[in-house]
């Protein structure tokens, strides 16, 4: 029994780790951080191995939360640097007028951010996003629509201001 559980865990790792780490890499823009996040997601899965019914979805939701924490930590660090005043020596005062989509996604409310990350970045179908989040498929579709509209409006505002 224990051997088959270990074998299943090993097969799951071999099948999912490269893709999960690659997904994290696209979100955090750093190989080492991406591997740390993917490894931590698997560590958290192993600690709940017997109670998780959807391991793939669990891994992506956990990784999404870890990525969000990483983004928040980076944002706090940037604010601290700015506050201290050393940023002027590192880069110009003006922020780019075209925000990265990643930062816009980060700014979405969690209710909208999690479905966007799972559906568009982890390539989970709406049905799986629904199962992972415990929300109805119709709600997930509505949240995806609302998130896209918010992102579209923000991008339009930025384009209008940059002209």
Per-residue pLDDT tens for 77-129? 777 666 655 444 444 444 444 457 778 888 888 889 888 888 887 778 898 88
pLDDT at 36: 95
Buried (b) or exposed (e) across 118-141, using 16+ Cβ within 10 A? bbebbebeeebbbbbbebeeeebe
Percentage above 90 pLDDT, the chain: 31
pLDDT tens readout for residues 51-85: 888 899 899 999 999 999 898 888 777 776 666 55
Over its C-alpha atoms, the chain yields an Rg (Å, rounded) of: 18
- Kindly report which listed range (17-21, 132-136, 146-150) carries the lowest average pLDDT score: 132-136
- pLDDT of 157 > 90? The answer is no
- pLDDT at residue 78, rounded to an integer: 72
Q: Looking at residue 16, what is its pLDDT? A: 93
**Tokens linked to 159:** 């384009």
Instruction: Tell me if 105 sits within 8 A of 116, measured CB to CB.
Output: yes
Q: Work out the number of other CB atoms within 10 angstroms of the CB of residue 46.
A: 12
């Amino acid at each position: 029994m224990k051997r088959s559980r270990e074998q299943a865990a090993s097969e799951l790792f071999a099948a999912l780790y490269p893709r999960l780490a690659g997904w994290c890499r696209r979100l955090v823009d750093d190989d080492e951080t991406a591997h740390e996040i993917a490894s931590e997601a698997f560590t958290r899965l192993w600690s709940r191995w017997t109670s998780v019914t959807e391991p793939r979805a669990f891994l992506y939701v956990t990784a999404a939360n870890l990525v969000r924490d990483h983004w928040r930590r980076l944002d706090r660090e940037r604010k601290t640097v700015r506050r201290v005043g050393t940023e002027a020596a590192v880069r110009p005062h003006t922020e780019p007028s075209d925000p990265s989509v990643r930062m816009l996604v980060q700014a979405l409310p969690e209710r909208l951010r999690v479905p966007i990350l799972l559906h568009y970045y982890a390539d989970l179908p709406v049905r799986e996003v629904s199962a992972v989040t415990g929300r109805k498929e119709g709600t997930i579709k509505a949240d995806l629509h609302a998130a896209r509209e918010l992102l579209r409006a923000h991008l339009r505002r930025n384009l209008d201001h940059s002209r």
